[in-house]
Structure 1
């Protein structure tokens, strides 16, 4: 619904589809009362995705004029410009942005859809960031039937959503992505708050009503988690999901979220003759619901309750914090737990998801190298810059942080005074839904848990020792099994078997490292020593690891024949012993449903 706007803001953006085939948006900006040496800048990163992405690389043809007369635009550095003017008349700027990144972080435009974050399109006006900003979205050269979806406040728009929007400051403009296209759209109410869900890229088999119903259950569960019978800190919410062939990801915002999921993971309309089992959520759909739950939980945990270092974003550089283990990790703990509490998955499915997280952490040698607090601080240089040595040098603040949250929750529950749910709500009250530090968490834990948790935080967050997962989970009604890990893990390798056997990662301390294997090696074959003196060497071509296990029989010594940089090399390899480190993985099943229910339900 459009809302009245008493006066046009002094900062006015206009975004128009310029050329679908060339993937170009045209952006204009009018600045009333400009500075005589007006500086402008495009952000180098977007909040929620902790990597300097250099959005300015896609900006072109920047021009300026005043009173119809062109002015010189001087570039100051990689993302800043200056326009000298008379400081009185309206300053007008125009530029184009190339948009062909289908992620949730930047901008995209083709004949099927358009999407953008203002951080990729809209130059900041230096010194004026806290003033109101208006945004006019113009259809331009688009196919018939396109619509607009965004969390921005509409002031004058048409039935399709094209028209004028208002943001009270640049931060909100940057925090409201825009989806354009012939998307599917549905609505529901959660605890009295209107929610809209738009989906682009879906097929005619897509069951939109099921997605709405399940998402509503997630939203209601989370609103009640934070506020009981109270109201959330927003008056409407928009989910924007793009279904693609193989994508996955999400980016949280204050009253919206942008999502990408595999098209095959969307719920499908069922026929009248389908059996009840056909209605059970697929693994892919469960993953999608977990993503929705994760990004929605961020509405509170990181968009409002946030690191003190994020009190005011600096869009020009990295914004470091050691608290991503809390804001991403604790959110990762609650995303699947909320699915269980909403009745969208059962106990067994939830424990399977926990098992996956535990093994991801325990099978990463980097957990011995880097604490989860260090991983948070280093997110800018490590998490989004994945290389062949990543598993050996770092740990995910998502997965390890989720396990820290679980250990705190189960410890608090075991001691009988409180739970992590109560701690999260108390933090919200303590900070009034605003910036926080680790000391705030420690204080609330001491108050509600009736003792200090400084040692746990030091060991679990700032240390690299194992977490007490097995004992805590067993006490809560989960049965802990130890299974043999896949062959690649027992060899200390991660491999690709797509048409051939290629080494992707060599894990620290494993048999593969001892043999001299390296990332990128093409494993062509294996060679076994003669069974008896005088007999020929036995050599075989291989394309999968399991083939090697079948060929070796009881032999533990072999030579890997590999190709590296055009050279053929021989790497003597001792086959792993089943009781060596890294040869077992945890698996959880339900042992005591009553104890589990006291935690999960």
Structure 2
């Protein structure tokens, strides 16, 4: 019996109202029931997004006959008696600005496949075709999907994992093409901007080729960059042979903003190896109905966050100091969150589904980012390998070997322990202390790694006597409200709360600029008790809080004055000097 075949047709009769219409034609599936489902999340973005909430008017037909179709779970519809040829029609609303959700308007449509296309339950393996009916004045379709052999504006996906990893930009985007590392690349710019095509092409070519050197090959024949330009924007999401980026349309001529954009390009392109192919076993094949937990995001996102800026340095876009300032930002981000004493990098990875994408006023007290902490662990690994092997090996060698072993040879995801074993085998270096640190809240002494390459990590705030209550405030309509209370701070212990309105301190009414509070902090004494008058849910009370020394850290990476010649040589190798 022939395998079922699925053909999607998407059209836009009301783009101004932010709708896309989908027809799902299924042939050769007659064994009842036919259950079709919408994914609840999209690969690369670890949050249950409940895409099915935007689905409307699901109907099923056999020829011209309507077939009974009923919703049986939050994201699943059942056709009890499918026909040889069953057609399912539905509409999807899309009006959210992000790299992972549908955005449809009168000018264009960005289609996130996981938010758009249903699949037959338990048949992710089926191939499908997607045909796009272009509205008038829309001229281009940008996607990593290959064109199907038949049909205008029709594309082919070998299976639904590939379909869900290939977004579509449909409209009149500015498109140009270039070759890098033997791969054809398409750049699709949406929303205008002051970008320089020639400069972007030249700079991104360098990034692509530098990353290809690390991994030893480029696994694609074509790759698509889709960039959404906004008044202010950012962010990105990786895909198998494409990426979606967010940028500020008029910031391309600002040197710092342009370099940050190149860093974003480097990050998402690095993912075509690290995540999309080399991956923990939990990250594919996927279950699209629920969370797919892994403790390994500190490797996948953390290593990528380490390499993105390092690639920019290797390409010559960052000076040494610019690179070191970008790297030390990871340390400042982690060490100024009390959550680093609560959550390890591995636990942050595992908890991504419930914490990373859902920050609240207490998040800094309870969690860290596996991006930042993973980058810190990555630099420790890189420097430890570099120094132990006298510059003959580094983390690059580990990644290439892991890619060759787990993806190319064995075509599977890895267990973290076997990734560590492979790393130690390839380098001949004991890496257990660093891998253990990924699962611990005990911090490494990072200077044991930086010092050996002629650099040191120093806290510029050490010894300062700056006072604080441990709160962050915001001005709302001329009133001052607490927006964050730091764990174990004066405010935390005294009982000041988020959303308390600050009225006065030591009998002095606070102005909207908070100058009285600033004066008290500048002229007060350690352990001095101050009287803070607040309004909490309309009730006024006085809270007595002691002034304490600020524990805010400001880290910097600098050359070690007494570095030996050998240490400097290794440092030069690390930083491509």
SS in 2 for 1:97: strand
1:523 aligns with 2:523: no
CA distance in 2 between partners of 1:491 and 1:576 (Å): 7
Q: CA deviation at 1:261?
A: 1.9
1:589 aligns with 2:558: yes
After the TM superposition, which of the residue ranges 496-505 and 431-440 deviates more from structure 2?
496-505
1:565 aligns with 2:537: yes
1:100 to 95, 105, 108: 95
Instruction: Give the corresponding residue for 1:149.
Output: 142
Q: CA deviation at 1:548?
A: 2.5
Instruction: Give the corresponding residue for 1:424.
Output: 399
SS in 1 for 2:523: coil
Instruction: Give the corresponding residue for 1:599.
Output: 574
Alignment of 1:18-97 (within 5 A): 18-34=13-29, 35-85=31-81, 87=83, 89-97=84-92
Residues 1:523 and 1:472: Cα distance change in structure 2 (over 3 Å) = farther
SS in 1 for 2:209: helix
CA distance in 2 between partners of 1:489 and 1:232 (Å): 53
CA distance in 1 between partners of 2:102 and 2:121 (Å): 23
1:120 aligns with 2:93: no
TM-superposition CA deviations, 1:466-493 (whole Å, max 9, x none):
2222342233233444223999995433
Residues 1:542 and 1:588: Cα distance change in structure 2 (over 3 Å) = farther
Residues 1:427 and 1:120: Cα distance change in structure 2 (over 3 Å) = same
1:187 to 177, 182, 186: 177
Unaligned runs of 5+ in 1: 1-6, 269-280, 528-537
After the TM superposition, which of the residue ranges 369-378 and 515-524 deviates more from structure 2?
515-524
Q: CA deviation at 1:65?
A: 0.6
Unaligned runs of 5+ in 2: none
SS in 2 for 1:339: helix
SS in 1 for 2:361: coil
Instruction: Give the corresponding residue for 1:167.
Output: 157
TM-score (norm 2): 0.91
CA distance in 2 between partners of 1:589 and 1:566 (Å): 50
Q: CA deviation at 1:506?
A: 1.2
CA distance in 1 between partners of 2:474 and 2:452 (Å): 38
Q: CA deviation at 1:135?
A: 0.3
SS in 2 for 1:584: coil
Q: Is the 8 A contact 1:66 1:85 kept in 2?
A: no
Alignment of 1:194-593 (within 5 A): 194-203=184-193, 205-227=194-216, 231-265=217-251, 267-268=252-253, 282-416=255-389, 418-433=393-408, 434-458=412-436, 460-484=437-461, 490-497=468-475, 501-527=480-506, 538-544=507-513, 548-550=517-519, 554-556=523-525, 557=528, 558-577=530-549, 582-590=551-559
After the TM superposition, which of the residue ranges 293-302 and 428-437 deviates more from structure 2?
428-437
TM-superposition CA deviations, 1:137-192 (whole Å, max 9, x none):
1113x4x253210001013699xxx6111111111111100012222222221112
Residues 1:73 and 1:426: Cα distance change in structure 2 (over 3 Å) = same
Q: Is the 8 A contact 2:33 2:78 kept in 1?
A: yes
After the TM superposition, which of the residue ranges 539-548 and 396-405 deviates more from structure 2?
539-548
CA distance in 2 between partners of 1:501 and 1:416 (Å): 56
SS in 2 for 1:312: coil
CA distance in 2 between partners of 1:289 and 1:321 (Å): 29
SS in 1 for 2:240: coil
SS in 1 for 2:348: helix
Q: CA deviation at 1:500?
A: 5.2
Instruction: Give the corresponding residue for 2:105.
Output: 110
SS in 1 for 2:352: helix
Q: Is the 8 A contact 2:227 2:245 kept in 1?
A: yes
SS in 2 for 1:383: coil
Q: Is the 8 A contact 1:250 1:258 kept in 2?
A: yes
Q: CA deviation at 1:546?
A: 5.9
SS in 1 for 2:554: strand
Residues 1:455 and 1:590: Cα distance change in structure 2 (over 3 Å) = closer
Q: CA deviation at 1:551?
A: 5.1
TM-superposition CA deviations, 1:567-595 (whole Å, max 9, x none):
233232322325xxx24321123457755
Residues 1:138 and 1:491: Cα distance change in structure 2 (over 3 Å) = same
CA distance in 2 between partners of 1:555 and 1:587 (Å): 28
CA distance in 1 between partners of 2:114 and 2:198 (Å): 33
Residues 1:567 and 1:212: Cα distance change in structure 2 (over 3 Å) = farther
Q: Is the 8 A contact 1:186 1:212 kept in 2?
A: no
1:13 aligns with 2:2: no
SS in 2 for 1:76: strand
Instruction: Give the corresponding residue for 2:133.
Output: 138
CA distance in 2 between partners of 1:345 and 1:244 (Å): 25
CA distance in 1 between partners of 2:386 and 2:120 (Å): 50
CA distance in 2 between partners of 1:257 and 1:20 (Å): 24
SS in 1 for 2:557: strand
CA distance in 2 between partners of 1:369 and 1:444 (Å): 30
Residues 1:77 and 1:600: Cα distance change in structure 2 (over 3 Å) = same
CA RMSD of aligned residues (A): 2.4
Residues 1:9 and 1:385: Cα distance change in structure 2 (over 3 Å) = same
Q: CA deviation at 1:552?
A: 5.5
SS in 2 for 1:154: coil
Aligned residues: 558
CA distance in 1 between partners of 2:518 and 2:88 (Å): 66
